[in-house]
A = this chain, B = another copy of it.
Amino acid sequence: MASAEAATVTNKQIIFPDYVRGFPKESNFKLTTTTIDLQLPEGSTSVLVKNLYLSCDPYMRICMGKPEPLSSSLVPPYETGVPIVGLGVSKVIDSGHPDYKKGDLLWGLVGWEEYSVITLTLYSHFKIHHTDVPLSYYTGLLGMPGMTAYAGFYEVCSPKKGETVFVSAASGAVGQLVGQFAKLMGCYVVGSAGSKEKKKFGFNDAFNYKEEKDLSAALKRCFPEGIDIYFENVGGKMLDAVLINMKLHGRVAVCGMISQYNLEDPEGVHNLPTILYKRIQIQGFGVCDFYDKYPKFLDFVLPHIREGRITYVEDIAEGFESGPSCLLGLFEGKNVGNQLFVVARE
Give the interface of A toward B (CB within 8 A).
Answer: 62, 70-74, 235, 239, 244, 248, 254-257, 260-261, 265-286, 289
Contact = CB atoms under 8 A, between A and B. Distances in A.
A278 B284 contact: yes
Given A73-B279, A269-B272, A281-B284, 17 more contacts: A72-B277, A73-B277, A74-B277, A235-B273, A239-B272, A260-B273, A266-B270, A266-B271, A266-B272, A267-B268, A278-B284, A279-B283, A279-B285, A279-B289, A280-B284, A281-B281, A281-B283
Protomer copies? 2
A147 to B, nearest CB: 15
A278 B73 contact: yes
A158 to B, nearest CB: 12
15 contacts: A62-B277, A70-B274, A71-B273, A72-B277, A254-B276, A255-B276, A257-B276, A268-B270, A269-B270, A277-B284, A279-B284, A279-B289, A280-B282, A280-B283, A281-B282
Nearest to A286: B279
Given A270-B265, A271-B266, A276 B256 contact: yes
A-B complex: 3 closest residue pairs judged by Cβ atoms: A268-B268, A275-B284, A282-B282
A276 B74 contact: yes
Nearest to A72: B277
Contacts of A254: 275-276
Given A70-B244, A73-B248, A244-B70, A273 B266 contact: yes
A273 B257 contact: yes
Contacts of A71: 273, 277
Contacts of A282: 275, 280-283
A277 B244 CA distance: 24
A285 B70 CA distance: 27
B279 A74 contact: yes
A323 B240 CA distance: 36
A71 B271 CA distance: 11
Given A277-B284, A284-B275, A286-B279, A270 B270 contact: no
Contacts of A271: 266
A239 B256 CA distance: 20
Contacts of A70: 244, 273-274, 277-278
A276 to B, nearest CB: 4
Contact of A235 (B239, B244, B272, B280): B272
A72 B273 CA distance: 12
A255 B281 CA distance: 12
